[in-house]
Amino acid sequence: GPATNERILMTSLTNKDMMTL
């Protein structure tokens, strides 16, 4: 559902941020 999709997107953004750091 939409909630799962949002969660995946949020995780992706967090992962990218962590990789940048």
In tens, the pLDDT along 1-21 reads 677 888 888 888 887 877 776
DSSP 8-state symbol, 21? -
Amino acid at the residue 6: E
Quote the pLDDT of residue 1. Answer: 63
DSSP 8-state symbol, 2? H
Cα dist from 14 to 7, 19, 20, whole Å:
11, 9, 10
**Which pTM value belongs to this model?**
0.34
Three-state SS for 1? Answer: coil
